[in-house]
Structure 1
Amino acid sequence: MKRKLSAALLASAIAASVVPASLMASAQGLTGIPPVEFQVDLDSQKSEFFTVEVKGTSYERGVQHGEALRKVIRPTLNRFKYDMVSAFLEMAGTDYTWDDYRTFFFEKTGLYQTALKEAPELVEEIRGIADGARLDFKDVFVYNLNFDETFWVLEKMTGVDPMLASEKAGLGLPSGHCSHGSVWGEGQSTVAYTLDWTRHFEGSQALIKHVLEDGTVLLTTTYAGTLIGHGINASEGYTFTPHSKFQLAHDVDNGLAQIFIYRKLVEAGSVDKAINFLNSVKPAAGLAYALTDHRGTRTFEVSSNKVAEMKTDGSWMAIANVARANDDLSGSYRQELKLEGKKVDMQALPEIYWTLNKDSVKRFDMISAATKGKTPAQMTVEKWQELFTHKPINKPVDEKMETSNLWHVVEIDNEFIDYHVSPGNPGHLPMETYRFKYR
Structure 2
Amino acid sequence: MTVIDCAGTGRQMGRAHGEQARDAVRAALERWRADAGGGVGGLVHTFPLLDTVQRLMPELADELRGIAEGAAVPFEDVVAYNCMDEQWWLGRQHQRRAGCSVLGSHTTHGTLLAQNMDLPPAMDGTQIVLRLRPKDGPEQLVLSAAGLVGLTGVNAAGVAVCVNTLGMLHGGPEGLPVAAVIRGALTRRTREEAIAFLSAVPHASGQHYAVADADGLGSVECSAGGVVSALAPGDRRIVHTNHPLASTDIDPVALEELRAEERLGDSEARLAFLASALRLEGSSAALERLLEDTTVPVCMSGRPGWPMRTFGTVSYALGSVPRARFRLGLPESAQWTEPGWSGPAAS
Q: Is the TM-score greater than 0.5?
A: yes
Deviations 1:54-85 (A, max 9, x none): 11111011111101111111111011012x21
- Return the match for 1:420 from 316, 325, 346: 325
Rounded to whole Å, the distance in 2 between the matches of 1:353 and 1:397 is 19
Deviations 1:9-56 (A, max 9, x none): xxxxxxxxxxxxxxxxxxxxxxxxxxxxxxxxxxxxxxxx22211111
Rounded to whole Å, the distance in 1 between the matches of 2:219 and 2:69 is 36
- Partner amino acid for 1:406? G
Give the equivalent residue in structure 2 for 1:89: none
Alignment RMSD: 2.3
CA drift at 1:197: 0.5
- Partner amino acid for 1:297? L
Give the equivalent residue in structure 1 for 2:76: 138
- Partner amino acid for 1:379? S
Give the equivalent residue in structure 1 for 2:253: 332
Give the equivalent residue in structure 2 for 1:81: 33
Higher relative contact order (Cα pairs below 8 Å, separated by 6+ residues): 2
Rounded to whole Å, the distance in 2 between the matches of 1:370 and 1:223 is 30
- Partner amino acid for 1:380? S
* Higher CA-based Rg: 1
Give the equivalent residue in structure 1 for 2:132: 210
Rounded to whole Å, the distance in 1 between the matches of 2:239 and 2:179 is 22
CA drift at 1:268: 1.9
Rounded to whole Å, the distance in 2 between the matches of 1:303 and 1:399 is 31
Contact 1:178 1:195 in 2 (8 A): yes
- Return the match for 2:89 from 115, 139, 152: 152
- Partner amino acid for 1:388? L
Contact 2:128 2:146 in 1 (8 A): yes
Give the equivalent residue in structure 2 for 1:409: 315
CA drift at 1:299: 0.2
Structure 2: tracts of 5 or more residues without a match: none
Q: Does 1:162 align with 2:162?
A: no
Q: Does 1:388 align with 2:291?
A: yes
Q: Does 1:183 align with 2:130?
A: no
SS of the aligned residue for 1:323 comes to coil
TM-score (norm 2): 0.91
CA drift at 1:107: 3.2
Q: Which moved more, 1:119-128 or 1:108-117?
A: 108-117
SS of the aligned residue for 2:338 comes to strand
Rounded to whole Å, the distance in 2 between the matches of 1:354 and 1:150 is 18
Q: Which moved more, 1:403-412 or 1:315-324?
A: 403-412
Distance 1:107 1:418, change over 3 A: closer
Rounded to whole Å, the distance in 2 between the matches of 1:215 and 1:327 is 34
Rounded to whole Å, the distance in 1 between the matches of 2:100 and 2:91 is 21
Q: Which moved more, 1:393-402 or 1:217-226?
A: 393-402
Deviations 1:314-360 (A, max 9, x none): 421101000110001125247x59xxxxxxxxxxxxxx699761111
Deviations 1:253-307 (A, max 9, x none): x111111101000112221111111111111001000001112211000110111
SS of the aligned residue for 1:432 comes to coil
Deviations 1:381-419 (A, max 9, x none): 1x2232222131111246665514110111111x11111
SS of the aligned residue for 2:209 comes to strand
Rounded to whole Å, the distance in 2 between the matches of 1:138 and 1:192 is 32
- Partner amino acid for 2:90? V
Q: Does 1:368 align with 2:271?
A: no
Identity of aligned pairs, percent? 22
Rounded to whole Å, the distance in 1 between the matches of 2:228 and 2:261 is 19
Deviations 1:87-134 (A, max 9, x none): xxxxxxxxxxx23x423x133211122122112211110100100011
Q: How does 1:16-415 map to 2 (within 5 A)?
A: 49-82=1-34, 84-86=35-37, 98-99=38-39, 101-103=40-42, 105-146=43-84, 148-155=85-92, 161-163=93-95, 174=97, 177-214=99-136, 216-234=138-156, 236-252=157-173, 254-311=174-231, 314-333=235-254, 336=256, 357-372=264-279, 374-375=280-281, 378-381=282-285, 383-391=286-294, 392-397=297-302, 402-413=308-319, 415=320
CA drift at 1:214: 3.2
Distance 1:115 1:299, change over 3 A: same
Distance 1:322 1:398, change over 3 A: closer
Rounded to whole Å, the distance in 2 between the matches of 1:122 and 1:223 is 16
Kindly tell me the number of residue pairs found equivalent between the two proteins.
Answer: 339
Rounded to whole Å, the distance in 2 between the matches of 1:197 and 1:213 is 31
Distance 1:242 1:356, change over 3 A: closer
Deviations 1:215-246 (A, max 9, x none): 62111110001101111111x11201011000
CA drift at 1:438: 3.1
Distance 1:71 1:163, change over 3 A: closer
Distance 1:211 1:107, change over 3 A: closer
SS of the aligned residue for 1:267 comes to coil
Contact 2:292 2:331 in 1 (8 A): yes
Rounded to whole Å, the distance in 1 between the matches of 2:23 and 2:193 is 37
Distance 1:331 1:362, change over 3 A: closer
- Partner amino acid for 1:306? G
Rounded to whole Å, the distance in 1 between the matches of 2:117 and 2:315 is 12
Q: Which moved more, 1:180-189 or 1:299-308?
A: 180-189
Rounded to whole Å, the distance in 1 between the matches of 2:328 and 2:252 is 36
Rounded to whole Å, the distance in 1 between the matches of 2:271 and 2:261 is 12
Contact 2:170 2:250 in 1 (8 A): yes
Rounded to whole Å, the distance in 1 between the matches of 2:31 and 2:124 is 10
